[in-house]
């Protein structure tokens, strides 16, 4: 098999990298501005080096130097999606984070890897009237890339979250075919499939055998709220004295997907960086009177149960680890992306072989 080497920009704690490794790819390095990603990335992905650096400070030559000669060079990345997210409701005009996507495009142009994959939120397609995404595509097409992209519904690809993700491929060999759905609705993975086997704990407790199985405490009123909540229900089911002030306002009446319990036999809602917070979404446990634990959030992001996010004898900070998990690309989506690239390399075997022969004789 052709050696396929990968550099992962905006690597986070390693969700995309781990999925690609599960698909048989060799990940050389991950690059991220958040140094707290370093332990989890390197510990769970042996031989992959973590580089703590902002993309703004990264030169094309630094990436080029990571790749060994005479191998297929793949560059992947998920630019921070917060500027494009519907959760943020921003226009983006005053948020410079979207410029990271522009910087990513310029790095691709200058490094010119054989294949690129970019994953992000679907609202990127319409952000700033679509101009940001169109500019990204145009910059890549100008240097010879064939572009394909699609919006994937995660449960149809084995990820137990009701989330949609934009997946883009760029290749110098030809168009990458994006895999069709693997699962029918009756086969979608569920919350029950992922977390039912974990020990029961109360709000504010930590499982004695797994420090990641830790739940945030609840105030007395939030405890009453979750005790009144039913799976799939909302704050509309509560007694009037439990309804928050914001939901009593006209503008708050339309926000139903907060302070809710998940349903056992459905996929979870999108796991955000605040999934451990009962009031931040439909993140209540289906039966137990608490929000999700760190471990449950990680499992719903399809991280394996033995994935380590912090070094031994380190504090399991809810905010820090919640951010690492919520910002991650689901591991299974990384494996699917690898599957698409493998199929592509097989389909364009002649072109790939010619490229490698050219490099050997150079």
Residue 287 is given by DSSP the state S
Whole-number pLDDT of residue 233:
75
User: Do 77 and 118 form a contact (C-beta atoms < 8 A)?
Assistant: yes
pLDDT tens digits along 296-305: 999 999 999 9
Distance CA 183, CA 187 (A): 6
Higher pLDDT, 87 or 178: 178
> What size, in residues, is the chain?
362
pLDDT tens digits along 95-127: 555 688 889 999 999 999 999 999 999 999 988
Find the CATH number of the domain harbouring 21.
3.40.50.150
pLDDT at 262 over 60: yes
Complete DSSP assignment for 84-97? G-TTTT--STT-GG
pLDDT at 235 over 80: no
Any domain includes 317: no
Any domain includes 300: no
Residues of the chain by 3-state class (helix, strand, coil), percent to 5: 40, 15, 45
What confidence category does residue 292 fall into, taking pLDDT thresholds of 50, 70 and 90?
Answer: very high
Distance CA 335, CA 339 (A): 6
Domain residues for the domain of 136 are: 4-182+330-356
* Mean pLDDT of all residues belonging to the chain: 90
Higher pLDDT, 257 or 337: 337
Any domain includes 107: yes
Any domain includes 99: yes
Distance CA 88, CA 105 (A): 23
Identify the bridge partners of residue 4 per DSSP, sorted by sequence position. Answer: 72
Residue 214 is given by DSSP the state B
Segments in the chain forming alpha helices (H)? 15-22, 38-44, 60-64, 99-111, 131-142, 191-195, 220-228, 245-248, 294-300, 318-327, 331-347, 349-361
Whole-number pLDDT of residue 99:
80
Any domain includes 306: no
pTM of the model: 0.91
Any domain includes 33: yes
Per the structure, the count of domains in the chain is 1
Any domain includes 278: no
User: Do 234 and 317 form a contact (C-beta atoms < 8 A)?
Assistant: no
Any domain includes 297: no
Active site residues per annotation: 81
């Amino acid at each position: 098999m052709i050696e396929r080497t990968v550099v992962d920009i905006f690597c986070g704690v390693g969700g995309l990298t781990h999925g690609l490794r599960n698909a048989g790819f060799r990940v050389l390095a991950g690059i991220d501005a958040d140094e707290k990603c370093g332990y989890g990335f390197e510990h769970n992905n042996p031989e992959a080096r973590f580089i703590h650096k902002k993309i703004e400070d990264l030169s094309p030559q630094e990436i080029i130097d990571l790749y060994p000669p005479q191998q297929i060079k793949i560059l992947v990345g998920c630019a921070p999606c917060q500027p494009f997210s519907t959760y943020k409701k921003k226009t983006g005009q005053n948020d410079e984070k979207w410029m990271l996507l522009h910087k990513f495009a310029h790095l691709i142009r200058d490094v010119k890897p054989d294949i690129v994959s970019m994953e992000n939120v679907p609202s990127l397609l319409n952000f700033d009237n679509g101009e940001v995404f169109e500019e990204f595509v145009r910059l890549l097409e100008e240097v010879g890339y064939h572009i394909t992209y699609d919006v994937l519904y995660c449960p149809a690809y084995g990820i137990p979250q009701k989330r949609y993700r934009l997946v883009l491929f760029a290749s110098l060999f030809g168009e990458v075919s994006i895999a069709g759905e693997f699962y029918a609705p009756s086969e979608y993975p569920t919350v029950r499939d992922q977390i039912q086997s974990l020990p029961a704990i109360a709000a504010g407790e930590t499982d004695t055998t797994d420090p990641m199985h830790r739940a945030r405490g609840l105030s007395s009123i939030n405890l009453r709220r979750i005790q009144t909540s039913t799976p799939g229900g909302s704050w509309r089911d509560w007694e009037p004295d439990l309804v928050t002030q914001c939901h009593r306002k006209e503008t708050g009446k339309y926000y139903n997907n907060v302070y809710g319990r998940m349903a056992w036999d459905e996929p979870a809602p999108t796991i955000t960086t605040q999934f451990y917070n009962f009031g931040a979404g439909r993140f209540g446990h289906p039966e137990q009177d608490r929000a999700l634990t760190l471990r449950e959030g990680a499992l719903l992001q399809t991280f394996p149960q033995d994935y380590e996010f912090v070094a031994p004898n380190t504090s399991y900070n809810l905010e820090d680890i919640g951010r690492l998990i919520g910002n991650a690309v689901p591991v299974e989506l990384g494996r699917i992306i690898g599957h698409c690239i493998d199929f592509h390399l097989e389909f364009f075997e002649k072109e790939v072989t010619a490229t490698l022969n050219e490099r050997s004789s150079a």
